[in-house]
Structure 1
Amino acid sequence: MKKISVMTPCFNEEENVELLYIKVKEQFEKLENYTYEHIFIDNASEDGTVDILRDLASKDENVKVIVNSRNFGHIRSPQHGLLQGSGDATLFMVADLQDPPELIPEFIEKWEAGNELVIGVKNDSAESPLMFLIRKAYYRVITKLSETKLEKNFYGFGLYDKKIIDILKGIPDPYPYLRGLLMEVGFNVAKVHYKQPLRHRGITKNNFFSLYDMAMLGICSHSKVPLRLATIAGFIMSFISLLIAVGYFATKLMFWDEFPLGTAPILIGIFFFGSVQLFFIGLVGEYVGHLVTKTSKFPMVIEKERINF
């Protein structure tokens, strides 16, 4: 019998983890010739999530729990959990039930058809239309900028063959952009299209800073285009500034008394070029910070407790 590892990262999801466990179990009870394990990696939750997971693990040996020593963020903890499965394939599924467990049979069917990577692509979402449009625009931009062919509207929900998991284990990246890594690995890719439902209970743990971090991680990891645009923009603006300076100088020489230079153009130019410089310095700083993070030898996470392993 083939074994499927289901991996769910969670942080303060006491209202959702038990229902997710039940729904996943129901799907595997319908599937013949498959066993499964459900790995929950908890990012030091501050509510009753860990207690619920301990209770589930005490009643069902298929439930395995990793508790981190502290909150290691929304990038590192899920990646660490993904690499802990022992199945023939690993299914990444979030805890808030926005990744529908009802799609598990379809993922497995496409995987059995010879696709090492089966990804969930959301065509539509029941979330805020504005938020969905912002996410969609981001994926479109990063796809255009990336040197790797990225899949729009794919954010991790998928079934990964053991071959891919073994490759990911061999990549020493302490802060990986999973979506990009999976596309770089290659192999056969199949898609499962779905409409993302609303979060079942509770509130999202993402905020502006976590979403910004994810966005910049994707851009810095897979594109040099912003840096090259900075260089090209600097050259173009320098050339335009030279033309304006020559034009002002010539006009002043020809119409010395009639053409007062004034301070307004000078101030506008100073503020404009100052803001452009700050923007591009910040952009370079993002890449430098990205490199510092990537070269860190600190482990992805530090575990405090393991249950049922």
Structure 2
Amino acid sequence: MTRKLISIVTPCYNEEANIDELCQRINDVMSKLDYDYEHVFIDNCSTDGSIPKLRAIAAQDKRVKIILNARNFGHIRSPYHALLQVKGDACVLIASDLQDPPEMIEEFVKKWEAGFKTVLAVKPESEESPVMFFLRKTYYRFVSRISEVPLVQNATGAGLFDRAVLDILKKVDDPYPYFRGLLCEIGFPIATVPFKQPRRQRGITKNNFYTLYDIAMLGITNHSKVPLRLMVMGGGLLALVSLLMAFCFFVAKIIFWDSFQMGIAPLLISLFFFSSVQILFLGMLGEYIGSVHTQVRNMPLVVEAERVNFD
């Protein structure tokens, strides 16, 4: 009887120091399981020695496959593209920085064998900066509350996805997806595997303020209309308050014509306040328009420069 195939996808960008250990630990885990496996690296145009190292590993082990991107397409599009290329009965997505321990794959598979089509790693604890961990938890709690579907809080993105889930994702045809949100929108029950995220041991994180802001806004604009509704209600409320304040000032001036002086300070304060609110609303509206623009352009997720060990 032919054994089932599990595809393992690892997005990679300048992770030369972690590749060898990652491959070895995944091989050790998969040797304990009664499944065949393929390990697909998708490299986002690394500038260090990652690509030569991947080529050397792939030359020795045909189960290791490589997709080389023509340029850096970002941390959102690249792994999603790789997920859609695999042929396994299930696919495991795991980062190359070793902060999602490969040993979790065994727990993922157990949940899959129990009937779950989607399994996600969640980190209720982390050795990262306490400030960053607090901000992440606060964000996920906020997005989950305003989202049209409940999201899995503290999910890292690592997990296992059944072939049925991957086939649905292929039909979605989203050029800039919020992957964790899509998994929840599909609707299959989601199992979670909690773990304490270790601190990165080698290399430096590729996330910065812009990339974190990008994925944060993507989660909001792709899965919630609440900010747009709040802008409408907030604008109406501010207009009502302004009208009431104007009426009060008018009455005060009529009653105390000679002694009441409104002064320049209230005018300046209200001018700056309403101007900042308008800029905030326009910026939020721009995020939604930008999301629509991305969908309308319908560009490919990535452009591949080369594939290695693919049939």
TM over 0.5: yes
Which whole-Å CA distance do the structure 2 matches of 1:186 and 1:262 have between them?
Answer: 58
Structure 1 consecutive aligned stretches of length 4 or more whose deviation exceeds 2 Å: none
Which whole-Å CA distance do the structure 1 matches of 2:208 and 2:127 have between them?
Answer: 18
Q: State the 1:78 CA deviation.
A: 0.8
Q: State the 1:92 CA deviation.
A: 0.4
Which whole-Å CA distance do the structure 2 matches of 1:141 and 1:209 have between them?
Answer: 19
Q: What letter is aligned with 1:264?
A: A
Q: State the 1:199 CA deviation.
A: 1.3
Return the match for 2:21 from 12, 19, 22: 19
Aligned residues: 308
Which whole-Å CA distance do the structure 2 matches of 1:17 and 1:185 have between them?
Answer: 32
Q: What TM-score, normalized to structure 2?
A: 0.98
Decide whether the 8 Å contact of 1:44 with 1:70 is kept in 2. yes
Q: State the 1:188 CA deviation.
A: 2.7
Partner residue, 1:150: 151
Which whole-Å CA distance do the structure 2 matches of 1:177 and 1:296 have between them?
Answer: 17
Decide whether the 8 Å contact of 2:123 with 2:156 is kept in 1. no
Q: Unpaired segments of 5 or more residues in structure 1?
A: none
Partner residue, 1:30: 32
Partner residue, 1:4: 6
Partner residue, 1:77: 78
Decide whether the 8 Å contact of 2:93 with 2:157 is kept in 1. yes
Q: State the 1:105 CA deviation.
A: 1.2
5 Å matches for 1:195-234? 195-234=196-235
Q: State the 1:79 CA deviation.
A: 0.4
Which whole-Å CA distance do the structure 2 matches of 1:39 and 1:202 have between them?
Answer: 21
Partner residue, 2:285: 284
Q: What letter is aligned with 1:3?
A: L
What do residues 143-171 of structure 1 show as CA deviations (whole Å, max 9, x unaligned)? Answer: 01101110100131100000000110111
Partner residue, 1:271: 272
SS at match of 2:161: strand
Decide whether the 8 Å contact of 1:5 with 1:85 is kept in 2. yes
Which whole-Å CA distance do the structure 2 matches of 1:82 and 1:39 have between them?
Answer: 9
Q: What TM-score, normalized to structure 1?
A: 0.98
- Bigger Cα displacement from structure 2, 57-66 vs 98-107: 98-107
Q: State the 1:119 CA deviation.
A: 1.0
Partner residue, 1:116: 117
What do residues 1-44 of structure 1 show as CA deviations (whole Å, max 9, x unaligned)? Answer: 1111000001111111111011000111122x211000000000
Which whole-Å CA distance do the structure 1 matches of 2:299 and 2:194 have between them?
Answer: 37
Please, what is the CA RMSD of the aligned residues? 0.8
Partner residue, 1:159: 160
Q: State the 1:106 CA deviation.
A: 1.1
Q: Unpaired segments of 5 or more residues in structure 2?
A: none
- Bigger Cα displacement from structure 2, 194-203 vs 245-254: 194-203
Decide whether the 8 Å contact of 1:114 with 1:188 is kept in 2. no
Q: What letter is aligned with 1:253?
A: I
SS at match of 1:85: coil
Q: What letter is aligned with 2:25?
A: K
